[in-house]
């Protein structure tokens, strides 16, 4: 959010500079010209994509709010049942609650592991000059691979016959056991994701005043102290912003789990995304699925508000 | 600072860099190793993969690619994906470009509202609207069509594209546009003759990032395309690995064909990819 807000204020000063270019015309002509030039034409440029976006996102979202109060199979009439779906979701449907808990596990994994990888990688890379470009390209590369390919690679690496676990004498299927499957998928997703975080952190680190590092050196700071007292405070806004985004994304996860286990074994990796998919498209519970989608949105709203609140309390986010 | 102390600092610097290089190399092996392994497996035979899973191939089996191409029906799925990518990128650059130009240069009344709308829209969880959108699309007969999917992709990428193009356009000098207007150019001419030629790097970045996103997209394609004839590479490859999951050689060859164009583009234009993907921020 921080970057866009910055760009927003730039634009106003730039566009204000444009306006003094007024042609000299008669007054009534002038106002019509102005209406065209400053209102009608700009909005003609804006409308096609905004209209499309509203039709694809906002309109179905509103429909979704309506469907969430109905018992709707996806075909035919929707019967209004008030808050029944939400009641079922939080008090009766154990699979929804379990799925939600798995999303929270997923979130805990993703606000730690990729961040540790990315902070480690970027702070190493920030100090290197020779080969910096090569390292950055190589470490970022997994991020551009399609999820189906990443999943195939890791299904191979995890295979119990001759995959990586067999190298240490572990011959069980990581993806085939309830207690390891979710973490195995999370690690594959992390392999794909952390390079992206690293590049974001690296860019932020380049904005830190080098004088601070010189000062730290003069004070005799070691590597860890330098990281903890100079680097981390310097990139804190980016780290916290990405934590917020990752927390939201953790409730949306679908691809990797659907491709690698489809929610199995025995429902052990069934997160909200998988549950909604099955409810909407396989179990003909579209109304219930819409209600689940709204709760995800509510969680995202809660996360954003929590960060906004912390920011108000004086945290520099 | 004495010479001695400076020398000591210099030595320390070199030592610390060695430390960095060692750990960075380990990370590079972690990141590239699996991809290299995929490449090696794609030219091994299945029996060799079982016997020698991590080593170099003793004999090169290029026929894996031919097998995968045929059994995975790549000629058809590549075509489908290319149509989706080109359709979306063209729609995105045209419509998103117009909107970005309007926001960057015209600042019409309501522009701030549009920016806030796009900002909120880009963080709205997809599950809020995906299910109703499916039933809406079914009602409109847009399931299993290229344009149905292109419309969705264009809309979902709109906030990112407009933000990126807008910030790029703001960075360009206005004098040229004003000069063209003084010479009597209308809005469309200014846009086509001045803005597009100047701003093409921004358009290229957005085109690459959006194109890459569509090429790799799985979730929306899975939900909106059910006819096997219409599958893009990702969902078709998913079904392919479902059927031939044990045939590591062939599935690896298929995966490699799917990522080869992406890797080539990435290596050639990686600065743009990295810039676009990280500035977009709110993606994947």
The tens-digit pLDDT sequence of chain B (284 residues) is 455 555 555 555 555 688 899 999 999 999 999 999 999 988 888 888 877 777 788 888 888 898 889 888 899 999 999 999 999 999 999 999 999 999 998 888 888 999 999 988 888 899 999 999 999 999 999 999 999 999 999 999 999 999 999 988 888 888 888 888 888 888 788 888 888 888 898 999 999 999 999 999 999 999 999 999 999 999 999 999 988 878 888 999 999 999 999 999 999 988 888 888 777 644 33
Q: How far apart are CA B100 and CA B93, in angstroms?
A: 10
Q: From the candidates A1, A2, A3, A4, which should be mutated to test the interface with B, based on the most B CB atoms within 10 A?
A: A4
Q: How far apart are CA B112 and CA B4, in angstroms?
A: 60
Q: Which residues contact A311 (CB under 8 A, 6 or more apart)?
A: A317
Q: Provide long-range contacts, Cβ within 8 A and 24+ apart, for B28-33.
A: B28/A135, B28/A138, B28/A139, B30/A191, B31/A138, B31/A139, B31/A141, B31/A142, B31/A191, B31/A195, B32/A138, B32/A141
Q: Which of B112, B159, B273 has the CB atom closest to A144's CB atom?
A: B273
What tokens appear for B233 in the block? 């590479």
DSSP state of B128: G
Q: Which residues contact A70 (CB under 8 A, 6 or more apart)?
A: A78, A79, A80, A81, A287
Q: How far apart are CA B225 and CA A267, in angstroms?
A: 25
Residue recorded with tokens 């309109």: A59
Q: CATH number of B73-243: 1.10.1040.10, 1.10.10.10, 3.30.450.20, 1.10.3720.10? A: 1.10.3720.10
Residues of B in contact with A49 (CB under 8 A): 95-96, 98-99, 154-155, 158, 162
What tokens appear for B186 in the block? 């209308």
Q: How far apart are CA B82 and CA B154, in angstroms?
A: 15
Report the candidate in B200, A85, A180 with the shortest Cα–Cα distance to residue A172.
A180
- Compute how many other C-beta atoms are within 10 angstroms of the C-beta atom of residue B75: 9
Please answer yes or no on whether B178 and A162 come within 8 Å at the CB atom: no
Helix B146-170 / helix B270-280 crossing angle, nearest 10 deg: 90
What residue segments make up the domains of chain B, in order of their start? 13-64, 73-243
Q: Which residues contact A300 (CB under 8 A, 6 or more apart)?
A: A248, A251, B123, B124, B125
Residues of B in contact with A3 (CB under 8 A): 279, 281
Report the candidate in A138, A121, A106 with the shortest Cα–Cα distance to residue A235.
A121
Q: How far apart are CA A297 and CA A311, in angstroms?
A: 21
Beta bridge partners of A79: A71
Q: How far apart are CA A213 and CA A231, in angstroms?
A: 9
Specify whether the CB–CB gap between A217 and B16 falls below 8 A. Answer: no
- Compute how many other C-beta atoms are within 10 angstroms of the C-beta atom of residue A114: 23
Q: How far is A65 from chain B (nearest CA, A)?
A: 8
CA A159 to chain centre: 29
Please answer yes or no on whether A1 and B119 come within 8 Å at the CB atom: yes
Report the candidate in A166, A162, A122, A316 with the shortest Cα–Cα distance to residue A233.
A316
- Which pLDDT does position B207 carry in this prediction? 93
Please answer yes or no on whether B129 and A61 come within 8 Å at the CB atom: yes
What residue segments make up the domains of chain A, in order of their start? 22-84, 89-312
- Which pLDDT does position A305 carry in this prediction? 92
What tokens appear for A85 in the block? 């779906």
Q: How far apart are CA A310 and CA A236, in angstroms?
A: 14
Q: Which residues contact A120 (CB under 8 A, 6 or more apart)?
A: B23, B27
Residues of A in contact with B130 (CB under 8 A): 60, 293
Q: Which residues contact A229 (CB under 8 A, 6 or more apart)?
A: A216, A221
CATH superfamily of A89-312: MetI-like (1.10.3720.10)
Q: How far apart are CA B267 and CA B21, in angstroms?
A: 22
Residues of B in contact with A305 (CB under 8 A): none
Please answer yes or no on whether B170 and A11 come within 8 Å at the CB atom: yes
Please answer yes or no on whether B131 and A146 come within 8 Å at the CB atom: no
Specify whether the CB–CB gap between B85 and B211 falls below 8 A. Answer: yes
Q: How far apart are CA B57 and CA B45, in angstroms?
A: 8
Specify whether the CB–CB gap between A201 and A119 falls below 8 A. Answer: yes
- Which pLDDT does position A271 carry in this prediction? 95
- Which pLDDT does position A184 carry in this prediction? 95
Please answer yes or no on whether B24 and A276 come within 8 Å at the CB atom: no
- Compute how many other C-beta atoms are within 10 angstroms of the C-beta atom of residue B13: 11
Half-sphere exposure of A189 (CA within 13 A, CB side): 24
pLDDT tens for chain A, 317 residues: list them: 334 443 444 444 444 455 555 555 555 666 777 777 778 888 999 999 999 999 999 999 999 999 999 988 888 787 888 888 898 888 988 999 999 999 999 999 999 999 999 999 999 999 888 889 999 999 999 999 999 999 999 999 998 888 888 778 777 888 888 889 999 999 999 999 999 999 999 999 988 998 999 899 899 888 889 999 999 999 998 999 999 999 999 999 999 999 999 987 888 999 999 999 999 999 988 999 999 999 999 999 999 999 989 888 876 65
Complex ipTM: 0.88
Please answer yes or no on whether B108 and A297 come within 8 Å at the CB atom: no
């Amino acid at each position: 959010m921080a970057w866009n807000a910055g760009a927003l204020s730039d634009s106003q000063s730039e566009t204000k500079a444009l306006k003094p270019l007024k042609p000299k015309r008669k007054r009534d002509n002038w106002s019509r010209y102005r209406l065209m030039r400053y209102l009608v034409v700009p909005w003609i440029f804006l409308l096609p994509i905004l209209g499309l976006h509203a039709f694809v996102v906002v309109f179905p979202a509103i429909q979704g709010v309506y469907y969430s109060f109905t018992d709707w199979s996806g075909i035919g009439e929707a019967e209004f049942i008030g808050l029944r779906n939400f009641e079922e979701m939080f008090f009766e449907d154990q699979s929804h609650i379990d799925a939600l808990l798995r999303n929270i596990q997923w979130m805990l994994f993703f606000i730690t592991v990729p961040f540790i990888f990315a902070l480690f990688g970027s702070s190493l890379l920030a100090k290197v000059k020779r080969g910096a470009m090569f390292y950055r390209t190589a470490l970022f590369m997994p991020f551009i691979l399609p999820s189906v390919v990443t999943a195939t690679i890791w299904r191979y690496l995890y295979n119990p016959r001759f995959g990586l676990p067999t190298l240490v004498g572990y011959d069980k299927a990581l993806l085939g056991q309830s207690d390891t499957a979710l973490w195995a998928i999370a690690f594959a997703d992390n392999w794909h994701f952390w390079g992206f975080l690293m590049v974001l952190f690296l860019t932020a680190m380049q904005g830190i005043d080098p004088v601070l590092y010189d000062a730290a050196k003069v004070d005799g700071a070691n590597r860890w102290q330098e990281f903890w007292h100079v680097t981390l405070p310097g990139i804190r806004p980016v780290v916290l912003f990405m934590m917020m985004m990752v927390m939201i994304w953790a409730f949306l996860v679908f691809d990797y789990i659907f491709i690698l286990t489809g929610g199995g074994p025995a429902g052990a990796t069934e997160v909200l995304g998988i549950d909604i998919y099955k409810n909407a498209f396989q179990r003909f519970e579209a109304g219930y699925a819409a209600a689940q989608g709204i709760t995800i949105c509510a969680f995202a709203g809660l996360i954003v508000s929590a960060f906004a609140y912390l920011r108000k309390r004086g945290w520099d986010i | 600072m004495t010479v001695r102390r400076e020398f000591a600092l210099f030595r320390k610097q070199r030592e610390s860099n060695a430390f960095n290089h060692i750990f960075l190399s380990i990370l590079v092996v972690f990141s590239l190793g699996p991809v290299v392994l995929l490449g090696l497996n794609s030219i091994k035979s299945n029996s060799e993969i079982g016997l020698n899973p991590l080593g170099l191939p003793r004999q090169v089996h290029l026929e894996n690619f031919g097998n995968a191409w045929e059994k995975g029906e790549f000629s058809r799925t590549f075509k489908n994906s290319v149509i989706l990518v080109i359709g979306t990128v063209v729609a995105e650059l045209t419509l998103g470009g117009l909107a970005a130009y309007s926001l960057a240069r015209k600042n019409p009344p309501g522009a701030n509202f549009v920016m806030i709308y796009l900002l909120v829209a880009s963080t709205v969880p997809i599950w809020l609207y995906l299910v109703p959108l499916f039933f809406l699309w079914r009602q409109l007969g847009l399931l299993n069509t290229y344009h149905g999917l292109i419309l969705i992709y264009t809309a979902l990428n709109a906030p990112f594209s407009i933000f990126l193009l807008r910030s790029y356009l703001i960075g360009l000098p206005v004098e040229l546009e004003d000069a063209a207007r003084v010479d009597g150019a209308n809005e469309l001419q200014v846009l086509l003759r001045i803005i597009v030629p100047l701003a093409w790097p921004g358009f290229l970045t957005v085109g690459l990032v959006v194109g890459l996103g569509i090429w790799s997209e799985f979730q929306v394609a899975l939900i909106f395309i059910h006819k096997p004839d219409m599958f893009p590479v990702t969902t078709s490859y998913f079904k392919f690995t479902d059927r031939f999951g044990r045939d590591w050689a062939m599935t690896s060859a298929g995966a490699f064909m799917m990522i080869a164009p992406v890797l080539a583009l990435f290596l050639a234009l990686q600065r743009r990819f990295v810039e676009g993907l990280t500035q977009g921020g709110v993606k994947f």
